[in-house]
Amino acid sequence: MTTVAILHAYSASNAGDGLLVDAAIDLLDGIDPETEYTVFARYPESFTPRDRVRFLSSRWTARSGLSGLRSLGRLDDFDLVVGVGGGYLRFGGVVETLKTSIAHLPQLVAAARTATPAVYLPQSIGPEGRVIRRVLRSLLAEIDLVCLRDDRSVRELRLPNAVRMPDMALLDPDWATRTAPLRDRTPVLSVRPVRRAGWTRILELAAVLRPFDGWVQSRGAGNDDDRAVGATCPERVLDRDEYVNGPRRVVVAVRLHAALMALRAGHWVVHLAYERKGFGAFDDLGLSDYVHSVYAFDPTEVDEQIRQLVADPELRGRYDAAVSVALRGFEGHRTALSDRLAELAGARITAKTE
């Protein structure tokens, strides 16, 4: 039996964050189906209880966080430490820097100091200034393997222990087949709050795109998209089951994992990226024409791109072909990552028993 500590989880009320935790567990279960997990999460109560998984609070100021803080100091007791995928090491402003420093830096420090092998699953790191970058590089250099999901993070950090790796949502093999035809021609628009320059463009797109349906990826936990989705005035808001299991649609998504969940469900997706991670993921998919900066896109051009996808089956076929080619490549990345995790955990278990 392998014991794994999973760091940096957030909240399952954000479907993307929940997906990344599930993807990490699925990957590790493929190595040892009896693995036991301790997940450090900002909102552990949001996760559905599951066998072999214990959720601890990383809200260190809360009473429930004291147990998590004590366990964070005992990472040497585990066989493997894993930083869940995502984009949580961000230092773009004073408030964001303070939040990251409180919520995530203690976990990174603990991972850097432990004798247990540590792997950070695919993520974006940054933005960060020069001083913080030096601190991050020093800490991340102590991690056995750092997987980065975008080229900008690779260039800025220049870590010898870092590898470029697709997002965990891309590596996870649970993808719908892309053979069914388009059955619902009404597009779906899934948005989140963004700065004014982006929000103005989103509202302009909504005005020319309608009618459309909406979908809310994240609710509660200080990260709620309900009001933003409602402000675009969709015909109706889909529930999660219809979004991921319903007929194939053309989807426009602002959150990366709203986009990737839609792609995994078989939809055709245009992504309005608000961070570097979106461009990395769509480049990995061979879909760079279908990702735009939410702060710089032309609403008329994106509306036309959506309408072409709805109207042209040959264009949708080329889109599907690009995804199929990318998926075959992701299999090799998943195998390589799984093998490395197994190697590190196996070496630790051997060392502990000698």
pLDDT digits over 292-346, tens only? 999 999 999 999 999 999 999 999 999 999 999 999 999 999 999 999 999 999 8
User: Per-residue pLDDT tens for 17-40?
Assistant: 999 999 999 999 999 999 999 999
What pTM does this model have?
A: 0.92
Architecture of domain 188-327: 3-Layer(aba) Sandwich (3.40)
Q: Which two tokens stand for residue 333?
A: 């990345």
For residue 93, pLDDT over 90 is answered with no
Q: What is the DSSP letter of 252?
A: E
Mean pLDDT calculated for residue range 43-60: 91
Q: Is the peptide bond between 127 and the residue preceding it cis, with omega within 30 degrees of 0?
A: yes
Alpha carbon distance 2, 167 (integer Å): 24
Burial class of residue 350, CB neighbours in 10 A (0-12, 13-18, 19+)? exposed
Is 1.20.140.10 the CATH classification of the domain at 3-165?
no
Tell me the residue ranges of DSSP E strands in 223-294. Answer: 237-238, 250-253, 268-273, 291-293
Closest CA to 80 of 354, 353, 323, 343: 343
Q: Evaluate whether 3-165 and 188-327 have a shared fold.
A: yes
Q: What is the pLDDT at residue 62?
A: 61
pLDDT tens digits, one per residue of 254-289: 999 999 999 999 999 999 999 999 999 999 999 999
Q: Which helix (H) or strand (E) holds 325?
A: helix 313-353
pLDDT attached to residue 65: 59
Residue 59 — very low, low, confident or very high, per pLDDT cuts 50/70/90?
confident
Query: Residue 23: how many CB atoms within 10 A of its CB?
Result: 22
Cis peptide before 211 (omega within 30 of 0): yes
Look-up of token digits 């409180």: 102
User: Edge-to-edge strands of the sheet including 291-293?
Assistant: 237-238, 213-215, 188-190, 250-253, 268-273, 291-293
The per-residue pLDDT for range 190-247, each reduced to its tens digit, is 999 999 999 999 999 999 999 999 999 988 766 789 999 999 999 999 999 999 999 9
- Residue 351: pLDDT band (50, 70, 90) is confident
For 106-149, how does the pLDDT look when each residue is reduced to its tens digit (9 = 90+)?
A: 999 999 999 999 999 999 999 988 899 999 999 999 999 999 99
Give the other-Cβ count within 10 Å of 337's Cβ: 21
SS3 263: helix
Give the pLDDT band (50/70/90) at residue 63.
low
Q: Residue range 32-51: average pLDDT? A: 94
Please give the pLDDT value at position 254.
Answer: 98
- Asked if pLDDT for residue 348 goes beyond 90, the answer is no
CA distance 186 to 182: 10
CA distance 133 to 276: 17
User: Over the chain, what is the mean pLDDT?
Assistant: 94
Q: Any idea where the domains of the chain sit in the sequence? A: 3-165, 188-327
Contact 9, 40 (CB under 8 A): yes
Q: How far is CA 264 from CA 19, 89, 168, 331, in A?
A: 11, 26, 12, 15
Size of the chain in residues: 354
Q: How far is CA 29 from the centre of its chain?
A: 19
C-beta separation of 2 from 35 below 8 A = yes
